[in-house]
């Protein structure tokens, strides 16, 4: 063409830009059509896996719009009935269900790949009339109870709660402690005031709008329904650069390769659901602004206190520094809210494991998508190990398996899973509020209650009187987060021309060369726009944070809402429970009589716990040997895994109670026969050495144990172990 010969790179770039524009509009057209189709579905979801209905929450005594489905096994990986069932609970935080199983590399995908029976708890777009948050967590308990009934061989099911479903699952476990097995809380906020200055300003939002009265207004305008699109808009406002430019530009600039991925994600992102106004009000009042969960200030409709210290199952927390919705402080701050000291945590019998990813974003925690696959895969395979761990706080450390890794045959997959003991100070080092900052959030809670009551008394009657019937449905359809999808669908006559033109463009697609100077200029301009929006977001966040602290740090504001500065000295923690303390005191009293009781198994477990504590923690190799020996019942009468867990827990608690006394009592538990002692000692040596060469402290402790077994037994055990290895 003459123009191409004359203008060269400019002509090439303009042709490419025009073609990309048409193709980008066609991508938006496809997105709009998908949105329209999903609006017409009864139960829209983005699960990639086949599933069948097990329980319909609408048929429960207290109906809810939730359902339990069983996910079909992978074609080439049959379900192992001896393995724990996994139950994935998706968040109802604006979007529809399915994010936990949206891809093969997801929470559901890795559990199926490991042979676990897998279930999914999702929900319908419309809530059941009058359903409450309490109804929902009670329904979840019924679902998990049914899964346990269907899989008695695998033990109590693992329950994975994503984001909003994380705190919902925690409440379910606190009010029904006998139901679930280990809990995995992924990107779940439980401590809403927690954070550090200069980062993640979402916790200031409630204060900047005067509390939750706007939630009440939104529910009234919605005819008793709260539109989840409002929550989606809040999430998007956190990162204006990504929302308003980077995400669409990424598709436009790479429209030949990025369209499918973009459409897959937008299928989920663009399907907001509804909540009852009362449900959203409960969440906003008690959690977002009130932060009442970890303080033990919530009660069920029957007056039962919701205390997270009642959870009996191990709790695994997965969070990320790259998560701007649930930063690590909000995901982990509840631990120090509940337990003032490490001794309190252990005395309560609680096992907590946490892992912090360096970069993955909020949604990547659930989707996995090869970013957090490693963590989900290791958690799936290590649940039995975690369930066996004695009470305490641990950090999950996942390392690559190298050529120099000892006993690689004991490692599951490509990564080595370790549990390293931590203290509450390690959680505090992540960052926490000062007492003065706590007082500011408490002032927001007080002001919110005042404003909400003023709205209910004086404004609500006018809103209800002036709002025409059907306004809520119209407002939902006209919400900007819905209109931006619908307007590009085929219902818009102009998009038919786009579809026809896009088809012609694909047949004659001619992208510009990589070295085209105008393409380079486009990227430079794009980066400038992105940097400008990022700077705007940072400036807005800084202003929001400063305004929050200036406003709610004012002694006048605090006095007007009736807040005493002296209350800043009191932490937002649950009150002491005399009954709980009596139970713990009785348990300590019972332990006092257990130092000299037991046999070879108790001696072995006590010795193993003593050595591993000095060696810096346990990993999956030691657990693999323990499990193999347990399956073979290497010593003593046959014991179930539950009995083994209790025995290990008791022996660990004895060491914590009085380590010197517990260790010195080991010889009293040993069999008199030297060969039997050697057999037990060899088992101990095999387990503690499965992790490779012990550190100096570990070797010192093992040497002390060997002396307690006496030199002859130790020598026989060592010789027998060498024969086995050779």
Token readout for 107 is 């929470």
Is residue 528 domain-resident? Answer: no
Is residue 498 domain-resident? Answer: no
Is residue 567 domain-resident? Answer: no
Is residue 423 domain-resident? Answer: yes
* pLDDT band, residue 715 (cuts 50/70/90): low
Q: pLDDT (tens digit, 9 = 90+) per residue, 339-362?
A: 999 999 998 989 999 999 988 888
Among 385, 400, 428, residue at a domain's last position: 428
Distance, in Å, from the CA atom of 42 to the CA atom of 125, rounded to the nearest integer, reads 8
Is residue 353 domain-resident? Answer: yes
Overall average pLDDT of the 165-170 stretch: 96
pTM of the full structure = 0.91
Is residue 419 domain-resident? Answer: yes
Using alpha carbons, list the distances in angstroms from residue 49 to 84, 108, 120, 385, 417. 19, 9, 10, 28, 28
The residue range of the domain holding 696 is 578-725
pLDDT at 21 over 90: yes
pLDDT at 726 over 70: no
CA–chain centroid gap for 483, Å, is 31
- Give the orientation angle of helix 517-552 with respect to helix 9-40, to 10 degrees: 50
Q: pLDDT (tens digit, 9 = 90+) per residue, 566-594?
A: 765 555 677 777 777 787 788 788 888 88
Is residue 586 domain-resident? Answer: yes
Q: Where are the alpha helices (DSSP H) in 41-163?
A: 107-113, 133-150
For the chain, how many structural domains are there in total? 2
pLDDT at 450: 97
- Closest to 351 in 3D by CA, of 396, 416, 398, 320: 396
pLDDT at 637: 54
Q: What is the CATH number of the domain that holds 388?
A: 3.40.50.1820
Overall average pLDDT of the 406-420 stretch: 86
pLDDT at 42: 87
* pLDDT band, residue 724 (cuts 50/70/90): very low
Is residue 108 domain-resident? Answer: yes
Distance, in Å, from the CA atom of 286 to the CA atom of 291, rounded to the nearest integer, reads 6
Q: The tokens 């059941």 sit on which residue?
A: 128
Q: Does residue 362 contact residue 319 with C-beta atoms inside 8 Å?
A: no
Among 428, 453, 479, residue at a domain's last position: 428
Q: pLDDT (tens digit, 9 = 90+) per residue, 48-64?
A: 899 999 999 999 999 99
Burial class from Cβ neighbours inside 10 Å (0-12, 13-18, 19+) for residue 493 reads exposed
Q: pLDDT (tens digit, 9 = 90+) per residue, 590-627?
A: 888 888 888 888 898 899 999 988 888 888 888 888 87
Number of C-beta neighbours around residue 473 at 10 A: 12
Among 368, 396, 428, residue at a domain's last position: 428
């Amino acid at each position: 063409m003459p123009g191409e010969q004359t203008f060269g790179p400019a002509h090439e770039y303009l042709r490419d830009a025009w073609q990309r524009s048409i193709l980008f509009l066609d991508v938006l057209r496809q997105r709009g059509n998908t949105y329209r189709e999903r609006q017409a579905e009864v139960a829209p979801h983005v699960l990639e896996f086949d599933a069948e209905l097990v329980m319909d929450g609408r048929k429960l005594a207290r109906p809810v719009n939730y359902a339990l489905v069983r996910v079909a096994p992978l074609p080439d990986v049959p379900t192992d009935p001896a393995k724990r069932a996994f139950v994935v609970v998706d968040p109802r935080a604006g979007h529809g269900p399915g994010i936990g199983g949206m891809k093969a590399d997801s929470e559901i995908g890795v559990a199926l790949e490991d042979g676990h029976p897998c279930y999914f708890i999702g929900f319908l777009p419309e809530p059941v009339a009058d359903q409450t948050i309490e109804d929902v967590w009670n329904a979840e308990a019924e679902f998990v109870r049914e899964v346990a009934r269907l899989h008695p061989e695998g033990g109590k099911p693992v329950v994975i709660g994503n984001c909003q479903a994380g705190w919902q699952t925690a409440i379910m476990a606190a009010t029904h402690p006998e139901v679930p097995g280990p809990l995995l809380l992924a990107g779940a906020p439980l401590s809403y005031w927690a954070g550090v200055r200069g980062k993640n300003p979402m916790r200031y939002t409630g204060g900047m709008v005067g509390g939750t009265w706007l939630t009440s207004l939104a529910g009234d305008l919605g005819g008793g329904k709260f539109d989840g699109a409002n929550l989606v808009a809040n999430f998007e406002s956190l990162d204006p650069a990504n929302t308003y430019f980077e995400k669409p530009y990424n598709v436009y600039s790479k429209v030949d390769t990025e369209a499918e991925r973009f459409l897959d994600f937008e299928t989920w992102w663009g399907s907001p659901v509804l909540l009852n106004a009362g449900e959203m009000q409960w969440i906003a009042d008690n959690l977002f602004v009130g932060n009442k969960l970890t303080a033990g200030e919530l009660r069920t409709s029957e007056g039962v206190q919701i205390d997270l210290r009642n959870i009996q199952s191990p709790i695994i927390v997965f969070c990320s520094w790259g998560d701007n919705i649930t930063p690590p402080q909000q995901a982990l701050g509840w631990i120090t809210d509940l337990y003032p000291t490490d001794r309190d945590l252990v005395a309560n019998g609680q096992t907590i494991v946490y892992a912090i990813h360096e970069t993955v974003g909020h949604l990547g925690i659930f989707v996995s998508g090869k970013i957090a696959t490693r963590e989900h895969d290791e958690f799936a395979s290590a649940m039995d190990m975690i369930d066996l761990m004695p009470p305490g706080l641990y950090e999950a450390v996942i390392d690559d398996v190298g050529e120099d890794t000892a006993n690689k045959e004991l490692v599951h997959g490509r990564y080595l899973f370790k549990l390293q003991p931590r203290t509450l100070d390690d959680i505090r080092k992540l960052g926490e509020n000062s007492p003065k900052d706590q007082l500011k959030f408490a002032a927001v809670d007080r002001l919110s209650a005042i404003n909400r009551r003023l709205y209910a008394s004086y404004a609500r009657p006018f809103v209800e009187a002036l709002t025409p019937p059907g306004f809520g449905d119209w407002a939902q359809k006209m919400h900007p987060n819905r209109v931006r999808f619908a307007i590009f669908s085929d219902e818009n006559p102009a998009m038919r021309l786009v579809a026809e033109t896009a088809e012609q463009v694909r047949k004659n697609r001619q992208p510009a060369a990589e070295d085209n100077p105008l393409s380079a200029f486009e990227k430079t301009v794009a980066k400038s726009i992105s940097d400008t929006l990022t700077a705007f977001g940072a400036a807005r966040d800084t202003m929001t944070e400063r305004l929050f602290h200036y406003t709610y740090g004012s002694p006048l504001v605090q006095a007007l809402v009736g807040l005493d500065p002296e209350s800043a000295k009191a932490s937002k923690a649950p009150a002491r429970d005399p009954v709980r303390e009596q139970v713990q005191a009785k348990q300590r009293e019972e332990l006092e009589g257990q130092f000299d009781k037991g046999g070879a198994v108790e001696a072995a477990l006590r010795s193993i716990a003593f050595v591993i504590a000095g060696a810096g923690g346990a990993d999956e190799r030691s657990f693999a040997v323990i499990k193999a020996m347990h399956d073979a019942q290497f010593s003593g009468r046959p014991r179930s895994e539950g009995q083994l867990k209790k025995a290990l827990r008791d022996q660990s608690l004895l060491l914590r109670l009085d380590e010197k006394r517990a260790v010195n009592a080991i010889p009293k538990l040993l069999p008199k026969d030297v060969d039997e002692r050697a057999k037990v000692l060899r088992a101990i040596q095999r387990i503690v050495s499965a992790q490779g060469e012990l550190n100096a402290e570990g070797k010192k402790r093992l040497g002390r144990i060997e002396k307690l077994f006496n030199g002859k037994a130790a020598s026989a055990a060592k010789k027998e172990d060498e024969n086995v290895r050779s």
